Amino acid sequence: GQPRVPKAKPFSRFPSVERDLAFLVPFSIEAGDILKEIRKQSGPLLEDASIFDVYAGDQLGEGMRSIAYRMVFRDSNGTLNDTQLLELQNKL
């Protein structure tokens, strides 16, 4: 068969916006599963997401940890406004 050629996304002239969110979760929840859910809930507005901090300490409670994600959002059709970003953040 023919080799598959990866599809490139067209470059957007609209600015990206970074948001950092931390989630307090039990150790039983995998960080990668949260990342998958972030991608699913954000849809096409999410350009990139990565873990940048994991913290576990006595003050968080037994069996709990904080996982912080940096997300980059961009709308290829226009500039994201504060309302859109707040709705997305609340959804996540």
Q: Taking residues 44-67, what's their average pLDDT? A: 94
Q: Which residue has the tokens 């989630």?
A: 23
Q: What is the DSSP letter of 77?
A: T
Give the CB-side neighbour count of residue 73, counting CA atoms within 13 A: 25
| pLDDT: which is higher, 77 or 5 | 77
Cβ partners under 8 Å of residue 47, min gap 6? 16, 72, 73, 74
Give the pLDDT confidence score for residue 10 in this predicted structure.
58
pTM metric for this prediction:
0.80
Indicate the pLDDT class of residue 28, thresholds 50, 70 and 90.
very high
Indicate the pLDDT class of residue 61, thresholds 50, 70 and 90.
confident
In the predicted structure, residue 40 carries a pLDDT above the cut 90: yes
